[in-house]
Amino acid sequence: MRRDRFDMPEPFRRFFEGEWDASWLRVEEFRDGPTMVVRAELPGVDPDQDVDITVREGTLHIRAERRERTEEKTKSGYRSEFRYGSFSRNVTLPPGCRQEDVTATYRDGVLEVRIPVPQEPPAGTGKVNISRG
C-alpha cells in the first residue's frame, strides 16, 4: 500500500520533498568577456532592504534575508505558516578585483553581480639567458 505524501508528519514531508536545503543560496558564476558574473536565485526578497553585498579580501559576500508568510482559510479551519531566515554565500574573486567596480542588479527574482576582472599581463615567451659562473 502506498501512502500519499501528505499523510506523513510535516517534518518528514519537508525533508523528503527537499525543503530541508532551502536555506542554501544557489548561485552560478561565469565569465562574460573581461567580467565575472555571479547570479543568485533570490525570489521574494526586497533587494533594497534584504540583500547586502560586500567585497573584502578577494571575496564577494552575498547575504540575504527572506520572510514569507502563507495563509490557508477553509470551512474547517485556518492555517498560517511563517518561513524566514538568513542566507549567505561567499565567492572567491580573481586577484585585483575592486569593490568600487562591482555592480549589481535585481530582476525577476535573480540577483546579478558583475565584477570587472583586471587583465593579466600576457605570459612572455622570451628566451632566458644563462650566465656562466
Domains observed in the chain: 25-116 (2.60.40.790)
Q: What pLDDT score does 133 carry?
A: 74
Q: Average pLDDT, stretch 35-60? A: 92
* Cα 126 from Cα 38, distance rounded (Å): 36
Q: Is the pLDDT of residue 1 over 60?
A: no
Q: What pLDDT score does 91 carry?
A: 93
Query: Tens of pLDDT along 64-86?
Result: 987 777 788 888 888 887 777 88
Question: What pTM, to 2 d.p., does this model score?
Answer: 0.65
Q: What pLDDT score does 28 carry?
A: 94
Q: How many residues are there in the chain?
A: 133
Percent of the chain at pLDDT exceeding 90: 40
